[in-house]
Amino acid sequence: MTQREEIEAAISIWNNGLDSGDIEAMVSVCHADTVTVNENQPVTVGTQAIRDKYNPRIAAAEITSGYEIETLQLFGDVAVVSGRFFGTMKMRDTGDVRKPEGRLVLVYKRDENGAWKMILDMDNNGPA
């Protein structure tokens, strides 16, 4: 598997976890001190913060998510990904469908076992 395919696999594990409501799958591809920087929200650090942020979203909506990598730069055991995200959220209480989309930057670092773990997730909403 190429390094790009390894990164794509890590992103897919995150997205599949989000879509299926498996928060533990999501955090399995994160460093223990992952930093998340999402638009109009406070910066958070750590996998418990990811659980706290995403569990309510998962409970509130049926989610489908996708991504497109536009650039992938490798710096030894660090990878910087930039691109776009998109998806749908069907709200469980109202049935309303939202279509979030925007830009993202993800940074991954290889752990001691050679697995890519996310250390930064930064995004903003709006047309991609």
| Amino acid of residue 7 | I
What tens digit of pLDDT does each residue of 76-104 get?
999 999 999 999 999 999 999 999 999 99
Domain count for the chain, please give it. Answer: 1
| Domain range for 113 | 3-125
What tens digit of pLDDT does each residue of 18-42 get?
999 999 999 999 999 999 999 888 9
* Contact by Cβ (8 Å): 34, 120: yes
Given this model, what pLDDT does residue 39 score? 85
37-57 burial, b at 16+ Cβ within 10 Å, e below that, comes to ebeeeeebebbebbeeebeee
Given this model, what pLDDT does residue 50 score? 97
Given this model, what pLDDT does residue 128 score? 55
Q: Where residue 32 sits, what CATH number does that domain have?
A: 3.10.450.50
Task: Dump the DSSP string for 5-34.
Answer: HHHHHHHHHHHHHHHHT-HHHHHHTEEEEE
Query: pTM score, two decimals?
Result: 0.93
The whole-chain average pLDDT of the chain stands at 95
